[in-house]
Amino acid sequence: MCGIIGISSNKSVSASIINSLKKLEYRGYDSAGIATLSDGEINEVKSEGRVDSLEKNFDLKNLKGNIGIGHVRWATHGVPNSVNAHPHSSYNVSVVHNGIIENSTILKKHLISKGHNFKSQTDTEVIVHLITENLKTSELEDAITKTLKQLHGSFALGIVFKDMPDLIVGARRGSPLAVGYGPNENYLGSDSYALKSMTNKITYLDDGEFCIVKKDQVNFFNDEGKKINKKILELSSDQANYDKGDFKHFMAKEIEEQPNTIKTGIKEYIDNVNKDINIPNFPWKIEDITSITLIGCGTAYHSCLLSKYWFEELTSLDVSIDIASEFRYRKNRFKKDTLYIFVSQSGETADTYAALDLCNKNRMKTCAVVNVIESSIARDSNFVLPIHCGPEIGVASTKAFLGQILILYILSLKLGSLRGDIKKISYQEKIKDLKTLPKLIEKTLLLDNDIQSISSTFNEVKGSMFLGRGFSYPIALEGALKLKELSYIHAEGYPAGEMKHGPLALIEEGMPVVVLAPRDNYYKKTISNMQEVIARGAKVLLITNKSKNEVVSENIWETIEVQDTNDDLLPFLLTIPLQKLAYYSALKKGYDIDKPRNLAKSVTVE
């Protein structure tokens, strides 16, 4: 996803902007650019590809100016190339933009009729010419207020002006934007992560607001152009380092970190002395919640789907789930005794934020399960349950998925206990089992070699299937998503019981099919589904848990056995081999594992 940086300083800014853009690379992008102001000119430099190629192709060290903006672009309108890269500039205005301007076609026609010339295929360029046009008849604040009202859609903007070389304008609607405060300089950034290396003092803009950032002063304005006051937050200082250490990829590091991140999550919520779960400051009476709706995208949606089984197992609550991009346009029947839970690693996913915003507008109970506690979804929810995984840099989510399902499992246990749906003895037994999870994950991570050798088979075929029932079905979906997004191979997750209703037609001789069949209540049924695909030529990779009983079938291509534990916790362990399968498959293909093609770590556009 696109990233923005802006710096207004008493010294040259180009090097700091480039360094900050590198911190935004994790978001995924396909071109980059920078614009500074010096000697009454806009110096714009941009190119397709990585920030490194910008540095290689241009002499950025001599890019003068104490004011500047930078951008990494994830293409929405217009192919990735140097013309469509940001910044976009007119003779006196330069803009970087995250988001989508939905009325750009009409605005472009209007501006061309006013004599403006366009160079790119982007929606962003209309913003440049609209501001240029409005500055002809209005002072800065009015021109900005007027421009923002004319734009439909979402944006986070960074704007500099040739004739005002001491300020940067930032504006936000639907796409996050933050201001940072430094010594003799101030900053604009898409998220706190981009600013953390320069400051830990941050102000977040809310939708409709804009700001004017000077090196020694920042002013904020509402959507009517009236000055407003905003809080300065002190960012949590992450101990977690942001480098790969001796791992080849962030994803490899984050897979191996899972025993620790799960241990941290357990420590945060489990009260060892009283064998209880602590969820401090829960803002609602338990009797005021009779149903739950869980909402997320991608991997976060899979966390919602898995937790539905736990909530149904451990509480008598009605539980529904939805993909955020569907929920936000559905004809929802909002009920005041429903708790809406938004699951999001980044806390900035546009569709999930829009779903939250809809619930807020209907005055619903909202709870965020997030990794980034300073994020928009966290800030705008009534209650936050952090997953405490530390920064997840790899675009493919691994430790955050386990962190999400851990917190959702803990919440289902706690609600079940508070409602009297589970007996105290069982509740305490499950808490005791939960504390063994980090060790079990550690042991499961050792299955490395078996998986490495298996993974190449997935590279030699045009598609594969991942099957599971019950708790294993969401894990099948997650495993398929990992393989798709890392090795660009078609992979489909399916409920094992659904195969005979059509997908069985896909099975060909030698097709790899991953069957998740832990020895839980669904085991026998899943094994018979497995027979159906074996009988039609599939090469089955069976993932199950260790047990004394032999697997009731031969003709299985490979078997991977994870540690045995209580059924509730098996989904955590079944996920590990699938993360590694996708990782090694992509490694063998030589693909960019931490930044797969076309993908972004935080999808801040719809």
Which residues make up the interface to ligand AGP (CB under 6 A)?
A: 297-300, 344-346, 349, 352, 395-397, 485, 602-603
Q: Which of 2, 304, 367, 389 is catalytic?
A: 2
Residue 133 one-letter amino acid: E
Q: Minimum distance between the CB of residue 412 and ligand AGP, rounded to whole angstroms?
A: 19
Question: Which residue's structure tokens are 């940072």?
Answer: 180
- Provide, rounded to whole angstroms, the least separation between the CB of residue 347 and ligand AGP: 7
By three-state DSSP, how is residue 225 classified? coil
Nearer CB in complex with ligand AGP: 33/493 = 493
Residue with smaller CB distance to ligand AGP, 213 or 395: 395
DSSP letter assigned to residue 144:
H
CB of 478 to ligand AGP, least distance (A): 8
Residue at 164: amino acid letter: M
CB neighbour list of residue 398: distance below 8 Å, 6 or more residues apart: 251, 254, 255, 258, 392, 579
Q: Which one, 520 or 594, has the nearer CB to ligand AGP?
A: 594
Do 195 and 178 form a contact (C-beta atoms < 8 A)?
yes
Q: Which residue is nearest to ligand AGP (CB)?
A: 298
- Residue 380, both tokens: 């705008």
Closest CA to 519 of 479, 474, 573, 483: 573
Q: Closer CB to ligand AGP, residue 300 or residue 405?
A: 300
Told to judge if 2 belongs to the known catalytic residues of this protein, a careful annotator would answer: yes
Phi then psi for residue 34, to 5 deg, are -145, 150
Per the listing, tokens 């000055």 go with: 227
Is 232 buried (19+), middle (13-18) or exposed (0-12) by CB count in 10 A?
exposed
> Cβ closer to ligand AGP: 47 or 352?
352
Give me the least distance between CB of 250 and ligand AGP, in Å please.
13
Clarify whether 304 is annotated catalytic.
no
Give strand pairing partners of 543: 516, 560
Least separation in angstroms between residue 291's CB and ligand AGP is 23
Q: Considering the complex, what minimum distance in angstroms separates the CB of residue 586 from ligand AGP?
A: 12
Distance CA 96, CA 411 (A): 41
Amino acid at residue number 33: G
Catalytic option among 23, 365, 539, 601:
601
d(CA 577, CA 235) in angstroms, rounded, equals 35
Q: Which is nearer to ligand AGP, 218 or 295 (CB)?
A: 295
Instruction: Fill in the DSSP letter of residue 326.
Output: H
Q: Which amino acid is at 278?
A: N
| Residues designated as active site | 2, 601
